[in-house]
A and B are shown apart, each in its own frame.
Chain A
Amino acid sequence: MGPVELLHMSVFSQSFSPCGRFLAAGNNYGEIAVFSLSAALSPDASQASQKPILNFTAHDGPVFSLLSTDTHLLSAGNGEISAWSWAELIKKSTKAAWTRKPSYETSLEIPEINAMIINPKDNSLIVGGGDNNIHIMDMETGIFKSVLKGHTDYIHCLCFKEREEEILSGGEDGAVRIWGHTEIPLSHFQTCSGMASQECARPQFGKWISCLATDSDWMLCGGGPSLSLWHLRSMSPTSVFPLPGCQREAVFYQDLIMSVGEGPHVSHCLHGGTVKAQIPCTPSSLNTLALNLKNTEHRVMTVGGSSHQIDVFTNFSYKAFSLSF
């Protein structure tokens, strides 16, 4: 990677290892880098410990999504999903455990996979991407069991409601669909057109939904429209967050909502709709935010975006240091 390539690198996805001591990040060149958090967070950390312990090309397209199961790291490239054993990755072996491709109808252009989630109850992997459909794959057998169709434009984000086992998906067409156990959406609603007077609509940006998060009855969604908190049973927004850019990822954390998107900062918001803080960070716009909650020793938040550097926050109020590709 020359300096010019580094200048034009974007980090799209992150995932922490099951033990919580390693971070995997994927970039737009199709590379996955594994960083050792324990080395970077140790008191005698140096410049070298902020570099990846392993850096390899996993796919020939950008890696838009990374997901960790208990033993494996799943990465999504151009229309394919590869699994890497974490134990092997830590030992610096870059052989994929398996690679699967969902069946696509068109063959002209291979659609990307933008989001992956796991349904722990029936051990299935749910992916959504550029072909406007959601594919569900059984993790044990590797067969794609079903396809959920309904979106009219490509899918940006997915999230899973554990209690009811429902899938929520948000797409470029501006719709958020809720899917149950059948292939027919339980309900769907548009955040913009149809409810044109919604406070969260921002027509100057567009109508796409690029981030979804859910916490039992509440749902966060944002993108073209402002980031807003919805009550699912009444299907109405309860608070709209006045964040200037388009948000790309948002999470619930304790009683805060943290979101990243356009603009070089991480926004901390309260459920009431106020923006509590905006923490500055290195990349000029952010794509991904990840919280390492599995490991109490290395409880950090990492964000990545349009830079080759990933900012690490040990105290969530300020940036501690940056890992770099």
Chain B
Amino acid sequence: MSSDAVKKRKPKVIRNEEGTPETKRGRAEGEQDVLVYHEEVELEGRDPQQDYLLYKDTCAALAKLMAEIQELKSSGAKVGSVEMEERRRQCSVHFITLKKLNRLAHMRLKKGRDQTHEAKQRVDVLHLQLQNLLYEVMHLQKEINKCLEFKSQHEEIELVSEEEFFQEAPAEISRPHVTRDDHHQLTLARLDWELEQRKRLAEQYKMSLARKEKIHKAIEQKREYLSSLQPGLQNIMQASLPVQECLSMPFEQMQKQAEVARHLPPPLYVLLVQAAAYGQACDKTLSASISGDVDEAKALSRPPEDSQDDESDSDAEEEQQNTKRRRATVGVQLDDKRKEMLRRHPLSLCVDLKCKDGSVLHLFFYYLMNLNILTVKTKVSTTTDLSGAVSAGELLNSESLLNCLYASDHGQETPNPTNRYQFDKVGITTFADYVSDLGHPYVWVQKLGGLQFSSDSELMGSALSASHMERTMKLLQGRLQARLALHKQFSSLEHSIIPVSGECQHLFPAKVVSGLTRWTMMSYQEFTELGFVQHVLKAGLLRETDLFFMAVVERGTARLLAAVVVNPRYPEVMPLFSLSLHWKGERSGRTEDNLRAMESEVNVFRAELQGPRPGFQLLTNQIQRLCVCLDVYLEMESQVCDGSEGPKEFPREKMCLRTARGPSRLKPFKYNHPQGFFSHR
């Protein structure tokens, strides 16, 4: 603008404006350059408002002059007239004034812009400085924070508490006069003390290690010495064996047994201990021994983690192999699972019970590991040959020999209730299918092994076993002897001889005419189909576990069929007879009171028929009494009917006082010894 002003310097136009001070100033500056005219300087002196008013005046004057010119022109004055020229000159002056004002306005604008720009620059600079400072402040703040947060490693070291420190540390380190006041010094002191202590303890540790090494070496030496002794001891033991046998103190054997016994599962161990104790104390004929594979048992008792790892590894391998070849069928897998569930412990116990006549009952006890029950298998060995009695086939059958040793202990189902759930998982419906393989899980076997499954008694373990041992052993021996006695009796019964022992002869008259002609065994099915045993069936006195026989007693034309139910617990439970007579028609105990009285005579009077203890004569006495009763019946019968039938078939030979008594007119079935006559009950 100033250059413009310089350029616009018009020597012609020298304005002599109101602003003379500016001109003076211009002149002052003009000493350097007299011809330079600074309009900006003039600008500072002028008031914009006044300039504006001047502008308005000028415009108004111009408009007025124009109007006058117009008037003049319209009034027909000449163009070059003096007034018009005067006015035109004035208009030009006004125009120049307007131009100046315009220039001034522009210069003012430019000046204003420059000022603004400058101010802005200053503000920007200040602003930038402010930002820098703020940034630095922030940075410094962060640094301060970092420093404040810094955790020195020393804080992780556990130091003893201050009181302890002051008490224990020597004065050079603790320097209480300094440290009590200064926390930093205190910490340093404590660290020092800690360091010293640790060094001391490290020394001690090294020394202890060295000592330990020495002791180890000493132990090793002693061990070697001991193991060198072992072969020597073995030789001595071997040499002592003959001495032991001589003195019949089988220490060696017992030790070996004890050694193996350590690997027995707990129930078998309890059983072994109790049986051996009982054998020593009460019954010298009992002997117990262990059989089976000891190594397998040892393998089983290895720590479970190792074996589990091995198993899982091997399982994984096997599975992989299987998928490579062919997947085993679901059935085979289930079978395997079943076999696994029913697995027996490799060790088993064998208990031998000897009876007076030399026959032995061998009991083999097994432990099923996953089911936690004991089972038993039996074997009987006798001194005499037992063949020859067809009907006695079932008596010593190892499957049913020990049935119902205690009432209703059938041994077909497992007594452990948790097994039910285990069986469901592998699809076993009844345990009875496996009983012939695995042995019978009788309840008394569980009790002998100390396993208690019912909530009957509070005894467990050895106490339970001990409380049942004596009774069970006696029952077992009794059972074997009863069965052997029955066996012998059956072989003579099959030959139609009733073996009545000498002590029981007094129960019967000397002459018995009716004789046993047949003695056969029957099955449960055949038995229950008989018509004349239905009352026994209805009274619930028959069970599938019982033994069933048919005896036929004959005299002349009369034939008496007797269906016999023998409970496995014979002779504790009396055999039950049901009668049917075929003589001039068919009568049974249901239709005729006298036959019912005969049944009663044979079934009810245990005390008389039992014979001497232990009562093995019961069955034969019952059969003999049956024959006697049939004699009485047939002989007395002929008396009652009048003689219109001709000669009596059975002449009366029995002595009695009365042939009929009471409302049912019963015959005298009771035999009185030694008078030898028959009377009524």
- What residues of chain A have their CB less than 8 Å away from a CB belonging to chain B? 3-8, 10, 12, 61-62, 64, 108-109, 112, 114, 130, 154, 156, 172, 203-204, 206-208, 210, 248, 262, 284-285, 287, 306
What separation, in Å, do the CA atoms of A62 and B663 have in the docked complex?
A: 11
What separation, in Å, do the CA atoms of A17 and B490 have in the docked complex?
A: 54
B596 at the interface (CB under 8 A from A): yes
B505 at the interface (CB under 8 A from A): no
What separation, in Å, do the CA atoms of A248 and B663 have in the docked complex?
A: 7
Smallest CB–CB gap between A308 and chain B, Å?
10
Smallest CB–CB gap between B645 and chain A, Å?
9
- Give the 7 A-B residue pairs with the shortest CB-CB distance, closest first: A8-B600, A284-B590, A109-B657, A206-B640, A7-B539, A8-B604, A4-B603
Interface residues of B in 653-672 (CB under 8 A from A): 657-658, 660-665
Closest to B536 in A: A7
Interface residues of B in 600-648 (CB under 8 A from A): 600, 603-604, 640-642, 644
Smallest CB–CB gap between A31 and chain B, Å?
14
- The answer to whether B663 and A6 touch across the interface, beta carbons within 8 angstroms, is no
Smallest CB–CB gap between B151 and chain A, Å?
86
- The answer to whether B663 and A114 touch across the interface, beta carbons within 8 angstroms, is yes
15 contacts between A and B (CB under 8 A): A8-B596, A10-B664, A62-B662, A62-B681, A109-B657, A109-B680, A130-B658, A154-B660, A156-B663, A203-B642, A206-B642, A208-B665, A248-B663, A306-B593, A306-B596
Complex partner residue of B539 from A6, A172, A208, CB under 8 angstroms: A6
What separation, in Å, do the CA atoms of A4 and B574 have in the docked complex?
A: 9
B residues in contact with A6, CB < 8 Å: 539
Complex partner residue of B593 from A114, A208, A285, CB under 8 angstroms: A285
What separation, in Å, do the CA atoms of A206 and B643 have in the docked complex?
A: 11
What separation, in Å, do the CA atoms of A4 and B576 have in the docked complex?
A: 8
Smallest CB–CB gap between B586 and chain A, Å?
15
What separation, in Å, do the CA atoms of A207 and B640 have in the docked complex?
A: 9
Closest to A307 in B: B535
What separation, in Å, do the CA atoms of A306 and B679 have in the docked complex?
A: 21
Smallest CB–CB gap between B525 and chain A, Å?
23
A172/B665 contact (C-beta < 8 A), A6-B539, A285-B593 known: yes
B76 at the interface (CB under 8 A from A): no
- The answer to whether B662 and A112 touch across the interface, beta carbons within 8 angstroms, is yes
What separation, in Å, do the CA atoms of A206 and B639 have in the docked complex?
A: 10
Complex partner residue of A108 from B590, B642, B657, CB under 8 angstroms: B657
Q: In the complex, given contacts A12-B662, A109-B680, A203-B644, what are 16 additional A-B residue pairs having Cβ atoms less than 8 angstroms apart?
A: A3-B540, A4-B574, A4-B603, A7-B541, A7-B603, A8-B603, A108-B657, A109-B658, A206-B640, A206-B641, A210-B663, A210-B665, A248-B664, A262-B591, A285-B591, A306-B593
Closest to B675 in A: A108
- What residues of chain B have their CB less than 8 Å away from a CB belonging to chain A? 535-536, 539-541, 574, 576, 590-591, 593, 596, 599-600, 603-604, 640-642, 644, 657-658, 660-665, 679-681
B residues in contact with A203, CB < 8 Å: 641-642, 644
Complex partner residue of A8 from B590, B591, B599, CB under 8 angstroms: B599
What separation, in Å, do the CA atoms of A64 and B665 have in the docked complex?
A: 12
What separation, in Å, do the CA atoms of A295 and B665 have in the docked complex?
A: 34
What separation, in Å, do the CA atoms of A210 and B663 have in the docked complex?
A: 7
What separation, in Å, do the CA atoms of A109 and B680 have in the docked complex?
A: 9
Smallest CB–CB gap between A210 and chain B, Å?
6
Smallest CB–CB gap between B578 and chain A, Å?
10
A residues in contact with B536, CB < 8 Å: 7
Say whether chain A's binding surface is mostly helix, strand, loop, or mixed: loop
Smallest CB–CB gap between B444 and chain A, Å?
23
Question: Using a Cβ cutoff of 8 Å, how many contacts connect chains A and B?
Answer: 72
Smallest CB–CB gap between A84 and chain B, Å?
21
Closest to A193 in B: B642
B residues in contact with A4, CB < 8 Å: 541, 574, 576, 603-604
Smallest CB–CB gap between B538 and chain A, Å?
10
Say whether chain B's binding surface is mostly helix, strand, loop, or mixed: loop
B residues in contact with A130, CB < 8 Å: 658, 661
What separation, in Å, do the CA atoms of A12 and B663 have in the docked complex?
A: 8
What separation, in Å, do the CA atoms of A208 and B641 have in the docked complex?
A: 11
- The answer to whether A154 and B663 touch across the interface, beta carbons within 8 angstroms, is no
- The answer to whether A3 and B599 touch across the interface, beta carbons within 8 angstroms, is no
Complex partner residue of A284 from B591, B604, B641, B660, CB under 8 angstroms: B591
- The answer to whether A154 and B596 touch across the interface, beta carbons within 8 angstroms, is no
What separation, in Å, do the CA atoms of A306 and B596 have in the docked complex?
A: 9
Complex partner residue of A7 from B535, B593, B644, B662, CB under 8 angstroms: B535
- The answer to whether B662 and A64 touch across the interface, beta carbons within 8 angstroms, is yes
Closest to A285 in B: B593
B residues in contact with A306, CB < 8 Å: 593, 596, 664
- The answer to whether A109 and B679 touch across the interface, beta carbons within 8 angstroms, is yes
Smallest CB–CB gap between B381 and chain A, Å?
35
Smallest CB–CB gap between B365 and chain A, Å?
34
A residues in contact with B660, CB < 8 Å: 154, 172, 208
- The answer to whether B539 and A287 touch across the interface, beta carbons within 8 angstroms, is no
B residues in contact with A8, CB < 8 Å: 596, 599-600, 603-604
A residues in contact with B603, CB < 8 Å: 4, 7-8
What separation, in Å, do the CA atoms of A7 and B602 have in the docked complex?
A: 13
Smallest CB–CB gap between A143 and chain B, Å?
27
What separation, in Å, do the CA atoms of A108 and B679 have in the docked complex?
A: 10
For A6, A64, A109, which residue has the most chain B Cβ atoms within 10 angstroms? A109
Smallest CB–CB gap between A14 and chain B, Å?
13
B residues in contact with A108, CB < 8 Å: 657
What separation, in Å, do the CA atoms of A320 and B311 have in the docked complex?
A: 70
Smallest CB–CB gap between A132 and chain B, Å?
10
What separation, in Å, do the CA atoms of A6 and B535 have in the docked complex?
A: 12
What separation, in Å, do the CA atoms of A91 and B604 have in the docked complex?
A: 32
- The answer to whether A3 and B539 touch across the interface, beta carbons within 8 angstroms, is yes
Smallest CB–CB gap between A228 and chain B, Å?
19
For B599, B640, B644, which residue has the most chain A Cβ atoms within 10 angstroms? B640
For A207, A262, A284, which residue has the most chain B Cβ atoms within 10 angstroms? A284
What separation, in Å, do the CA atoms of A152 and B540 have in the docked complex?
A: 45
What separation, in Å, do the CA atoms of A3 and B679 have in the docked complex?
A: 26
A154/B661 contact (C-beta < 8 A), A3-B540, A8-B603, A284-B591 known: yes
Closest to B541 in A: A3
What separation, in Å, do the CA atoms of A154 and B664 have in the docked complex?
A: 12
A residues in contact with B576, CB < 8 Å: 4
Complex partner residue of A114 from B642, B658, B662, B680, CB under 8 angstroms: B662
A residues in contact with B599, CB < 8 Å: 8
B residues in contact with A204, CB < 8 Å: 641
- The answer to whether B539 and A5 touch across the interface, beta carbons within 8 angstroms, is no
What separation, in Å, do the CA atoms of A172 and B591 have in the docked complex?
A: 21
What separation, in Å, do the CA atoms of A204 and B637 have in the docked complex?
A: 12
B residues in contact with A12, CB < 8 Å: 662-663
What separation, in Å, do the CA atoms of A109 and B681 have in the docked complex?
A: 11
Closest to A109 in B: B657
What separation, in Å, do the CA atoms of A156 and B644 have in the docked complex?
A: 24
Smallest CB–CB gap between B155 and chain A, Å?
86
A287/B535 contact (C-beta < 8 A), A4-B541, A8-B603 known: no
A residues in contact with B665, CB < 8 Å: 172, 208, 210
Closest to B574 in A: A4
Smallest CB–CB gap between B358 and chain A, Å?
35
What separation, in Å, do the CA atoms of A64 and B574 have in the docked complex?
A: 28
What separation, in Å, do the CA atoms of A10 and B662 have in the docked complex?
A: 12
What separation, in Å, do the CA atoms of A8 and B660 have in the docked complex?
A: 19
What separation, in Å, do the CA atoms of A204 and B658 have in the docked complex?
A: 21
B residues in contact with A114, CB < 8 Å: 662-663
For A61, A210, A262, A306, which residue has the most chain B Cβ atoms within 10 angstroms? A306
Smallest CB–CB gap between B656 and chain A, Å?
9
Smallest CB–CB gap between B407 and chain A, Å?
13
Closest to B641 in A: A206
